[in-house]
């Protein structure tokens, strides 16, 4: 059923009917191999031996679709995998972390992306996982420990006030957002988010993205991501950074079908380079929805 909130996005979503059908379909169970402890072929052998029909993704051999809730299995408790929506792995792929670098995850809890970054770093270098909420720090710490992450420190700053004493090779801002892209698992979001919520979060997001950019070392890379459809929280936030700083949007490829960033919304025009951002809708990869921007500093 179409809601008034969803209808505001009808002009910008390709294949609207397929989108609506996907939004009403339960999410698949998906896990990401924790390569700090096991490689994907060995994990698949465990599934086969246990009679579990886990199917790897064509575009990422680190991802498996499971026929049952993955949190019930011993492999979860051993830290051999992390239960994670497929779309949530894309920001780390865009960030492209490398061993030996100094990297900041500015909004890190519960740790799905932070532990993926650490795995891509092979536990080499330094990862700072920042989370201001004490309650959410507990889940972040639990996941870091369970997955065998060794190169990470947890900090507890408000992201927009993160200290400027260190410059980072890469920064991820997976920003707090209205989460409309999670509508397949959060039934309350089937009706979309309120404009008051969207406006309030957009103000925070603009502060976060500017501070994240200021924390980059020369030549550094920033990925800004959300799990919402709202242009006010996506393209408008990136446009704000372009207006405030000498930032550039860097084109990048992701291994799935996606839509480009919007160059305009309602009565607002965005810079042409915003089209290099990426919009992902649930029907693109049988997952949730999201937005990605890869930003570089000269």
| CA-wise closest residue to 83 among 47, 112, 45, 43 | 112
- The first and second tokens of residue 297, run together, are 């500093």
| Residue 227 annotated among the catalytic residues of the structure | yes
CA 18 – CA 13 distance, rounded (Å)? 10
Could you tell me which residues come within 8 angstroms of residue 126 by beta carbon, excluding any fewer than 6 positions away?
Answer: 101, 102, 103, 151, 152, 153
- Residues forming a β-bridge with 153: 128
What is residue 259's three-state secondary structure?
Answer: strand
- DSSP for 11-38 reads GGSSSHHHHHHHHTSPPPEEEEE-TTT-
Select which of 107, 221, 227, 277 is catalytic: 227
Edge-to-edge order in the sheet of strand 55-57? 55-57, 60-66, 29-33, 81-83
| Alpha-carbon radius of gyration of the chain | 19
What is residue 69's three-state secondary structure?
Answer: coil
The 10 Å Cβ neighbour count of residue 267 is 5
Catalytic residues: 227
């Amino acid at each position: 059923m179409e809601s008034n909130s969803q209808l505001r996005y009808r002009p910008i979503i390709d294949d609207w009917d397929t989108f609506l059908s996907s939004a009403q379909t339960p999410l698949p169970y998906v896990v990401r191999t924790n390569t700090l402890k096991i490689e994907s072929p060995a994990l698949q052998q465990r599934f086969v031996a246990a009679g579990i029909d886990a199917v790897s993704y064509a575009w990422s051999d680190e991802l498996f679709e499971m026929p049952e809730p993955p949190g019930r299995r011993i492999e979860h408790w051993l830290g051999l995998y992390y239960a994670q929506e497929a779309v949530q792995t894309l920001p780390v792929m865009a960030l492209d972390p490398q061993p030996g670098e100094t990297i900041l995850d500015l909004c890190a809890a519960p740790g799905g992306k932070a532990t993926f970054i650490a795995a891509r770093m092979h536990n080499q270098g330094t990862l700072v996982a920042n989370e201001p909420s004490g309650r959410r720090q507990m889940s972040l710490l639990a996941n870091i420990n369970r997955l065998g992450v060794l190169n990470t420190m947890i900090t507890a700053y408000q992201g927009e006030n993160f200290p400027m004493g260190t410059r980072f090779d890469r920064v991820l801002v997976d920003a707090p957002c209205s989460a409309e892209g999670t509508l397949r698992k959060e039934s309350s979001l089937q009706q979309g988010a309120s404009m008051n919520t969207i406006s309030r979060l957009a103000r925070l997001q603009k502060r976060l993205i500017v501070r994240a950019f200021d924390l980059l070392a020369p030549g550094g890379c920033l990925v800004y991501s959300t799990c919402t459809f709202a242009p006010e929280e996506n393209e408008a936030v990136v446009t704000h950074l372009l207006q405030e700083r000498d930032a550039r949007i860097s084109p990048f490829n992701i291994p799935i079908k996606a839509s480009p960033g919007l160059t305009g919304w309602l009565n607002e025009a965005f810079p042409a380079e915003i089209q290099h951002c990426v919009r992902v809708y649930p029907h693109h990869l049988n997952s949730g929805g999201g937005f990605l921007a890869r930003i570089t500093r000269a």
